[in-house]
Structure 1
Amino acid sequence: MESNIFLGFLLMFLLYNNARAEISDHLREDIPDLDMEPSSASSAHLNGKELPAVPQNSVQTHPRRHIKSKRRMKRRYKCYSCEPPCRDPYEFTHTCQNAIQCWKSRTRDADGQVQESRGCSTSPDQLPMICSQNSLKINGPSKRNTGKFVNVVCCAGDYCNEGDFPELLPFDNNDVTVITADTSSISKMLVAVLGPFLVIAMLGAVTIFFIRRSHRKRLAASRTKQDPEAYLVNDELLRATSAGDSTLREYLQHSVTSGSGSGLPLLVQRTLAKQVTLIECIGRGKYGEVWRGHWHGESIAVKIFFSRDEESWKRETEIYSTILLRHENILGFIGSDMTSRNSCTQLWLMTHYYPLGSLFDHLNRNALSHNDMVWICLSIANGLVHLHTEIFGKQGKPAMAHRDLKSKNILVTSNGSCVIADFGLAVTHSHVTGQLDLGNNPKVGTKRYMAPEVLDESIDLECFEALRRTDIYAFGLVLWEVCRRTISCGIAEEYKVPFYDVVPMDPSFEDMRKVVCIDNYRPSIPNRWSSDSLMAGMSKLMKECWHQNPNVRLPALRIKKTIHKLASADEKIRLDFDEVCV
């Protein structure tokens, strides 16, 4: 068995060597036969032109083949050799030995410069490259106009490459193509390169758009099938409507609601947290955080309460759900929800989003003109009038007191007007039933903005009018903050909070009681305001708002009318504000 295997391998080895020898012979046969004999017909014709005669012992190359090429080229020759420029045809710098063939050439470069050279070929591999430059056809078609740029004469014999160099065909300047930068060609190339990418990108964008559109439709359909109670309204309802939008009343009349005049139907609110994507945190406070969220293609504000402030969340949701609360100067309410994130219960309150932020932030960033100041003060007063006023009727609105009015709880809209926000401490009162709803929230308002009767604890918490007058006191301090940042006589004061000069940044209850009740101190008014009729009128108004005696303070409607009257007396102020008398 082993002997048979050995004989098989031996036979395969012999066959392999034999095949290798055959292939080698065939390859050698393909080399042109350059074994030249001395001939008298050594002058060849190239492209119809007779070239100069070659010496007697040289022969022109041609593609004739031999069968046994491995027997050729046994004889070696001596040749002249010189590098260009060989200015003298008979100037030979040196000779080369052991050459298979000798050659001499004349070449013309792209600039029309002619150069001559002589040399020899010592290896058969060099012959196709040198001696085939101006041949008619060797393993393929010859190049056009080769005779105008290259003429190489090869010969076999000792020193057969002496004498004159071969001539080139006549040269015309039109044969030289000057390549210049073509802007049209560059633009075409750019279009050819970038065009397909742009087309593919556009097709991809269109495809992604239709895929996402189809996906949203399928997702909405599947949600409706899985939880029909959660989606009682269409997409038009799920868009955040602007304050006072008539669409609100329409869908309230045609859907199952929580009885609110503000916000979405109750069953829709229960799924809001699943539909909102939180984008960035835009504020933090003692109650929790405020985030900018994304909901149905719009930015909304998401107020996230700490679990310990559940009463504030409940109270604010209850106040926002009051019938007919919706107003252009009251923060627009979308809904509330309770959700769990990272194993932690979160209480969400979703409202309209205003990129300019609070009035506190706005005053820190900007100085105000007279027109800006009036627009801000009038819009706050307008919102306060709506809040304090009771609307009678089948679907009426109770009177409300904010109890925590300050610049941080007032937001600035894109047109420069303001909306009142943060109703966690608000109370309601109905003259029809005589009921005063204080809520279950034990927290108190901001100490810096507390009225004297609250600080000395002389206020009657069962009297709604007393609670409403505390809002007027706080509004007087807000008016001072706004007027301080108003440019008057070319000067605007740096923003400061009320009582910045007499109490610390976080004053205690006792600090404020001493300053406001005992010392009877109020924010100082600059003397230059007296020379400005508008600012003088505003300073008189704010003094009446923060008066020590609550009964002397003006009602919200009187404040609104006074501001409007002051603005109308100033020709520089243009108001587009539609006054609504309540």
Structure 2
Amino acid sequence: MEPLRLPVLCWGTILCVSLVAAGPAAPHEEDSIMPFPVSVSKTNLEITRLCRFCDVEASTCTGKGTCEVECNKTAICPDVNEVCVTIWRKRDDNVTFDTLCHNPAHKLYGLVLDDYNNSKCTMKEKKGMGAQFFICSCIEDECNRHILFDQNAHVVAVIIVSLVPLLVMAVVVIVFFYCYRVYLQPPAPSTHKKGAPLDFSNAPIMSDEGSDSSSTLANNLNHNTELLPIELDALVGKGRFAEVYKAKLKQGSSAREEMSFETVAVKIFQYEEYASWKNEKDVFSDADLRHENVLHFLTAEERKVQRQYWLITAYQPLGNLQEYLSHNVISWHDLWLLGSSLARGVAHLHSDQTPCARCKVSVAHRDIKSSNILVKKDLTCCLCDFGLALRLDSSLSVDELANSGQVGTARYMAPEVLESRINLENIESFKQADVYSMALVLWEIISRCSAIGEVKEYEPPFGNLREHPCVESMKDSVVRDKGRPEIPDSWTSHAGIQTVCATIEECWDHDPEARLTAQCVAERFDDLDFLDNKLSDRSDSEEKIPEEIIIVDEK
């Protein structure tokens, strides 16, 4: 009987505490019951309403709690379907109210009034309106005079009081099971000796030569919350959100075995860049993203001691495409390898199917440029830097797509992105913007090919503009003047390059709908395979890339 005393005592405690906690809440809840507003359908809106109706009026409302609009005019709505609306805006230190009647069947400032069937005007914030913007709508006479920014505190209090008994019970149950495990359950035998090294013997790892392995030591360890034994070596890249280091990943199956190293790349984000790290981690974590022309991802880590977030990937010693082209003149065969692999990588991102015909979520990169493309040892490309990437899930609403904002590097932005007029109703619009950027990268590759004749020093697209052009200067050149990088006549003397140039011109068309898809570009490169075999004049590069290059990303 002795072992049963503790469970009986604990369950008695549960019953007593539950009765005490639940007892005083009942009358309080009864006093707090508020009737729900009666739902009013469109067919019941037979009498026009009275609404507060003023143009823009200055206000002292802080956007918190309850406010009363500074409008003394009451108007009869002209249409029986119209409801009362109040809009609160704050731009800098200027606060204004708009009060009006509006038919919810029509958009207001591009917004749909989807929550108007209320007796009270409860504000909801809308993003992407150029200022702090709240709007509410309701169906009672003059209901847009008093507006609510916060929910009724009394209702919140009732909910909290209602949850207290459940929380108390949960705590008591946890205490009971803790006591049971400590005092009644025998301890489980342990097979791990304190201080013994972790066994890595069954965890395969990417090597420098085979960077596309399907499983990694990184993933195995990270699932056990173990930080990888990584030693940072040298800074090899620096961008807007992070720095990239060449690093050594230590390996060894036991303490007696000689420690070996594998070379990896570590992208380090500071704590304030958490959003960018998380977005790139979430994109990389999709197993369907794996592709030979997408940078191979190992794992992601939160380094709390250093207050940093890490992404660990395969290391590509040749660096990014921009640096490679800056230091090397390439052959037609090299051009074909770089261009075709780039197109295949973008096509894989944009595709809604894997190569095995399994459904996947399409991804728009949204920052394709030569410094975000790495060159592998076989002179094929792999896409990297997915900090601005967008998963084009069909469930995304127009508002969620609009909140993604105008992102990317100005030099590589498509005309519609520069003008902030991308078609949010069609997710293909984001892919079309990627294709425009890819066309500029293909132009860069051709500009350093020996098959065009005289090869000039490397310069980026629109090289006549300053080093980091702003959106406005790019808008003048690309949108107003419809300018594009020059394609000299000498480039078309080579049959293969002539085809690639024609493809580029179709990809950077001003009309997004007229552009080719990335898959179509990849197929055109496949059709050039016979020319690659026929015209290949592959030779060693005229200049050699340095062993270590620090890359500063273009903002």
What range describes the TM-score normalised by the shorter chain of this pair?
0.5 to 0.7
2:219 pairs, out of 238, 252, 264, with: 264
Which residue among 273, 278, 285 is the counterpart of 1:314?
278
2:292 matched to 1:292? no
Does the 8 Å contact 2:206/2:213 carry over to 1? Answer: no
Aligned match of 2:203: 236
Q: Structure 2 vs 1, CA of residues 519 and 365 (structure 1 numbering), >3 Å: closer, same or farther?
A: same
Q: Supply the distance in 2 between the matched residues of 1:332 and 1:403 (Cα, whole angstroms).
A: 19
How big is each residue's C-alpha offset from its partner over 1:428-478, in whole Å with a ceiling of 9 and x where there is no partner?
1245x5778769876721111000000111102352100010110000000
For residues 320 and 298 of structure 1, what CA distance do their matches in structure 2 show?
21
- Tell me the secondary structure at the aligned position of residue 351 of structure 1: strand
> Is 1:447 equivalent to 2:402 in the alignment?
no
Matched, 1:481 2:409: no
Alignment partner of 1:547 is 2:531: no
Query: Deviation of residue 492 (structure 1)?
Result: 1.6
Deviation per CA, 1:523-581: give whole Å up to 9, x if none. 00122112211121111111111110001100111101112213423512399xxxxxx
Q: In structure 2, give the amino acid aligned to 1:332.
A: H
Spell out the pairing of 1:207-218 with structure 2 (5 A cutoff).
none
The answer on whether the counterparts of 1:240 and 1:334 sit within 8 Å (CA) in structure 2 is: no
TM-score of the superposition, structure 2-length normalised?
0.56
Contact 1:358 1:412 in 2 (8 A): yes
What is the letter of the counterpart of residue 293 of structure 2?
Answer: N
* Cα pair 1:271 1:337 within 8 Å, conserved: no
Residues 1:378 and 2:332 aligned together? no
Matches within 5 A, 1:72-221: none
What does the per-residue CA deviation read over 1:479-498, in whole Å, with 9 as the maximum and x for residues that have no partner? 00000000125422211011
In the alignment, the residues of structure 2 paired with residue 473 and residue 325 of structure 1 have an alpha-carbon distance, to the nearest angstrom, of: 22
Where in structure 2 are the equivalents of 1:494-505 lying within 5 Å? 494-501=457-464, 503-505=465-467
Please give the root-mean-square deviation of Cα atoms over the aligned residues, in Å. 3.1
Corresponding position: 1:326 with 2:290: yes
In 2: Cα distance, 1:402 partner to 1:488 partner? 30
After superposition, the Cα gap between the structure-2 partners of 1:439 and 1:265, relative to the gap in structure 1 and judged at 3 Å, is farther
Matched residue of 2:300: which SS?
A: strand
User: Residues 281 and 292 of structure 1 are in contact (CA less than 8 Å); yes or no, is this contact kept in structure 2?
Assistant: yes
Q: Which residue of 1 aligns with 2:232?
A: 278
CA distance in structure 2 between the partners assigned to 1:553 and 1:326 by the alignment: 26
TM-score of the superposition, structure 1-length normalised? 0.53
- CA spacing shift, 1:276–1:388, aligned 2, 3 Å: same
Aligned match of 2:114: none
Moved over 6 A (4+): 230-233, 392-395, 434-437, 439-443
* 1:491 counterpart = 2:454: yes
Q: Is the 8 A contact 1:315 1:441 kept in 2?
A: no
Specify the structure having the higher radius of gyration (Cα): 1
CA distance in 2, matches of 1:389, 1:424: 19
Larger relative contact order (C-alpha < 8 A, sep ≥ 6)? Answer: 2
Separation of aligned partners in 1, 2:339 and 2:291? 16
Q: What amino acid is the match of 1:363?
A: L
- Percent identity of paired positions between Structure 1 and Structure 2: 34
Query: Partner letter of residue 292 of structure 1?
Result: K
Cα gap change, 1:356/1:224 in structure 2, threshold over 3 Å: closer, same or farther? farther
CA shift, 1:282, in A, is 1.1
Supply the distance in 2 between the matched residues of 1:238 and 1:325 (Cα, whole angstroms).
Answer: 19
Which residue of structure 1 aligns with residue 370 of structure 2?
407
User: 1:49-95: per-residue Cα shift (whole Å, max 9, x none)?
Assistant: xxxxxxxxxxxxxxxxxxxxxxxxxxxxxxxxxxxxxxxxxxxxxxx
Q: Is the 8 A contact 1:231 1:268 kept in 2?
A: no
Change (3 A) 1:394 1:361: closer
Q: Classify 1:363/1:239 alpha carbon distance in 2 versus 1 (closer, same or farther; 3 Å).
A: closer
Deviations 1:217-272 (CA, angstroms, capped at 9, x unpaired): xxxxx9965599x9797443344694654557xx9xxxxxxxxxxx7258447323
The answer to whether the 8 Å contact 1:367/1:485 transfers is yes
Structure-2 change in CA distance of 1:397 and 1:493 (3 Å) = same
Q: Partner amino acid for 1:540?
A: A
Q: Secondary structure at the match of 1:488?
A: helix
Displacement of 1:286: 1.7
Is the CA contact (8 Å cut-off) linking 2:406 and 2:417 kept in structure 1? no
Picking from 536, 555, 558, the partner of 2:520 is 558
Letter in 2 for 1:400: V
Alpha-carbon distance in 2 for matches of 1:243, 1:429: 28
Choose the corresponding residue for 1:369, options 324, 331, 340.
Answer: 331
C-alpha distance in 2, partners of 1:266/1:527? Answer: 56
Aligned residues: 335
Partner of 1:85: none
Pairwise CA distance, 1:390: 1.1
Structure 1 residue runs of 5 or longer lacking an equivalent are: 1-221, 252-262, 576-582
Alignment match, 1:468: 431
Q: Using the alignment, how far apart are the partners of 1:574 and 1:264 within structure 2?
A: 42
Alpha-carbon distance in structure 1 between the residues aligned to 2:397 and 2:227: 32
**Structure 1 pair 456–234 and aligned structure 2 pair: CA distance change class (3 A):** same
Rounded to whole Å, the distance in 2 between the matches of 1:247 and 1:486 is: 37
Q: In 2, Cα distance between the equivalents of 1:528 and 1:223?
A: 73
Quote the Cα distance in structure 1 between the aligned partners of 2:487 and 2:461. Answer: 11
In the alignment, the residues of structure 1 paired with residue 419 and residue 326 of structure 2 have an alpha-carbon distance, to the nearest angstrom, of 31
Q: What is the aligned counterpart of 2:497 among 516, 529, 535?
A: 535
Partner residue, 2:17: none
298-307 vs 395-404, greater mean Cα deviation: 395-404
Tell me: CA distance 1:265–1:470, structure 2 relative to 1, closer, same or farther (3 Å).
Answer: farther
- The one-letter code sitting in structure 1 at the alignment partner of 2:362 is A
Q: Is the 8 A contact 1:303 1:348 kept in 2?
A: yes
Distance 1:231 1:238, change over 3 A: farther
Equivalent residue of 1:264, what SS?
helix
Deviation string, structure 1 residues 276-326 (Cα, Å, up to 9, x no partner) = 111111122221211111013210000011222111100000000012211
Q: Which moved more, 1:434-443 or 1:505-514?
A: 434-443
1:359 maps to a residue whose letter is: L
Could you give the per-residue CA deviations for residues 360-405 of structure 1, whole angstroms, max 9, x where no partner exists? 1100010000000000000111111111111279974211110000
User: AA paired with 1:546?
Assistant: W
The structure-2 alpha-carbon separation of the partners of 1:441 and 1:517, relative to structure 1 and needing over 3 Å to count, comes to closer
Please list every run of 5 or more consecutive structure 2 residues that lacks an aligned counterpart in the other structure.
Answer: 1-189, 252-260, 539-555
Determine helix, strand or coil for the equivalent of 2:291. Answer: coil
Cα offset, 1:417, TM superposition: 0.7
Asked if the contact 1:339/1:348 (under 8 Å) is kept, the reply is: yes
**Which residue identity does 1:236 align to in structure 2?**
A
Q: State the match for 2:300 in structure 1.
A: 336
Q: Which amino acid aligns with 2:225?
A: R
Equivalent-residue separation in structure 2 for 1:420 and 1:541 (angstroms): 20
Which of 284, 303, 314 lines up with 2:267 in the alignment? 303
